[in-house]
Structure 1
C-alpha cells in the first residue's frame, strides 16, 4: 500500500495551465513591516504585538484598503540593524511615493499611521517582494525561497521576502511595488529576467499576473496587448474605456504616446469547475477566469 502523494497547488495549476493574467489583487498602498521571527499563517494579524498599536495600524490600513505585509531579507540577514517599516503608494502618473522608518518597540509602529496621512517621498527605487510565506502555503516556500535567493544575490538592497500576496497556486509570486505589478509562475532564472526587464521599464506579458490599479478584465486586456505587440513601460498603456455586457467586456487600451493606435480588446469570463486551489485549504472552489478573445487595432 503506497502513501498518498502530497498535493502542491502550484504543480496542479501548471498541469491545468491556469491563466495568469487578471489575477493581481486590486490595491495601491502597501504597508511593509520587517519581522525576523517566524511568520504566523495569518501574517500581521497573528503577531504578538501591543494590542493598542496593532489596532491603530490595522484600522488605518483598512480605511485606505492598504495591504499589510511582513518582510525580511533572504536568510534573515543583518539582524544587528534596526527593523524597518514602509508605506508605499502607487500614483497613476508614475510618481510613486515611499515613506520608511524603523522600529524597536511595538509602539514605534504607530509611525505607520502618520505616514499613511502624508504624501511620502518620490523618486526612490522600487521594492521587489517575493512571497515566501511557507506557514501560509507550502508552495510559497518551496518555490518562493529559491527565487528570493536568486533575486537577493542580484539586487540585495531592493529585494525582500514577504508574507502572503494572494494566488498561492501561481508561486513563485513577485510584486514590484509601489509600481503595483504582480508576476507569477517564476523560478530563479525567469525571476531575474523579469525583474531585470521591469527595472529597465519593459514589462513582458510572460509571467504577468496584472497591474494592481486595474480590475481583472482590464489587466487581461493590457496583458493581451503586451503579448501581441511586445513589452512596454509600466505606464505606457492607459485604459480609456470599459463596457460590460453580462460575461463580456470591451476594453479600449490607448497609449500615452501621441499617434499610437487604439486597441479595442474583447474579454470574456467564465467559472472553472470546483478545484483545490491552495495547499492548505482542502475544500474545493471555483475561480473566475478572464480571457481576451480578440484585439482590434483602430
Structure 2
C-alpha cells in the first residue's frame, strides 16, 4: 500500500482522519455517489445539515437538497476561503452546476440574485447530462471557463474537515484565485482534507496545498496529476458505484492513465459471491478489461471524531484481464 506522505494538514492525535492515516486505510471506492453536482455560495456559518442550518433560507435549502437527491445528484454549499462573515455583495451568490459526468462532463456557473432561481433547473435533464436543456431553463447560467476544486470544511459534521481542510483551501485559493472553494459535507471526513473536482465529480482524499494546486493545474488539461493516483488520494468518480470506483482507480494507477474521462467502468454483482462484483472497464482507445473486486472487512476505527470505533471495510481489486 502507498506510504503516507507527511504534511497534508494538522489535527488532534486522536482525530478520526489521523487514525485512518496511521492505519494506511485505502481511499478508493469511498466517493459519494452523484450523477450531478449543484454548489451554491452561502457565506457565514454552517450547521451539521448545512442546507437547512445556515443563513440560506431553510425552505429553499431543503427544497434544493430534496430535488438533487431525488434525481441522483448532490447539493453542496460553498464559501470563499478565509473569514466567514456573512457579507452579501451586489454580484449575488455564485453557483456551479456540473453534469454529463459519465462521459462528457460540463460545468456551468452564474451569480444569482436569488438562490430560489435554482428551482427552475430541469432536474431530469440535469441528471441525463443535457446541457442545452439546462441552459434554456436557467439562462443566467453560462459555461465556466475553469475547473474548480471544492474542499470540505464543514466542522459541524466533523472537526477534521475544518482543522485540516481550511488551511489547504486557503493556501490553494491564494495560489489559484477564484478556483478553490470551501464546501459543506461531501462524505469521508475520515480522509480529510477531502475535495471534489468539478466538473468531473472526481473525489480526492488527504489533500495538501501542493497537491491541490497540482490537481487544478492538471485539470486544465482534463487530467489528474500523477501524484493523485493510487490508494492514498484517489477516492473515485462520483458517477460510479463504489466497486466500480475502486476498480477504475486501481486500473488508472496501473496504466498511469491521467485523462479523467479515458476510462468508463460498470459493475455487476457476482452471482456466486455476495461480497464481490464483476467490473468491466473500457478505455476510449478500444481496450477493455474484466476485473473482479471484493469487499473486505478491516480494522475497527472511528468514522467520525468522538465516535466509537466500528468495523471498517475496503476493496480488494483482482487482476485486470483484457477481453
Q: Is the 8 A contact 1:34 1:83 kept in 2?
A: no
Moved over 6 A (4+): none
TM-score, normalised with respect to structure 1: 0.86
For 1:176 and 1:219, how far apart are their aligned partners in 2? 15
Shift of the 273–74 alpha-carbon distance from structure 1 to 2, 3 Å rule, reads same
Counterpart mapping for 1:90-239 below 5 A: 90-91=99-100, 92-103=102-113, 108-117=114-123, 118-120=133-135, 121-122=142-143, 124-203=145-224, 204=226, 205-206=229-230, 207-239=233-265
Q: Is the 8 A contact 2:106 2:199 kept in 1?
A: yes
Shift of 1:219: 0.8
TM-score, normalised with respect to structure 2: 0.80
CA deviation map 1:262-298 (0-9, x unaligned) = 2222211122344211114x23323332121322234
For 2:161 and 2:62, how far apart are their aligned partners in 1? 27
For 1:196 and 1:125, how far apart are their aligned partners in 2? 10
1:248 pairs, out of 276, 282, 299, with: 276
Segments of structure 1 that go 5 or more residues without pairing to the other structure are: none
For 1:100 and 1:285, how far apart are their aligned partners in 2? 42
After superposition, the CA RMSD in angstroms is: 2.4
Segments of structure 2 that go 5 or more residues without pairing to the other structure are: 1-11, 124-132, 136-141
Shift of the 124–116 alpha-carbon distance from structure 1 to 2, 3 Å rule, reads farther
1:272 alignment counterpart: 298
1:263 pairs, out of 266, 289, 293, with: 289
1:15 aligns with 2:30: no
For 1:153 and 1:49, how far apart are their aligned partners in 2? 26
- For 2:52, what is the secondary structure of its paired residue? helix
CA deviation map 1:69-123 (0-9, x unaligned) = 11111114895453414251321231414252423xxxx2211110344523456
1:284 aligns with 2:309: yes
Shift of the 296–158 alpha-carbon distance from structure 1 to 2, 3 Å rule, reads same
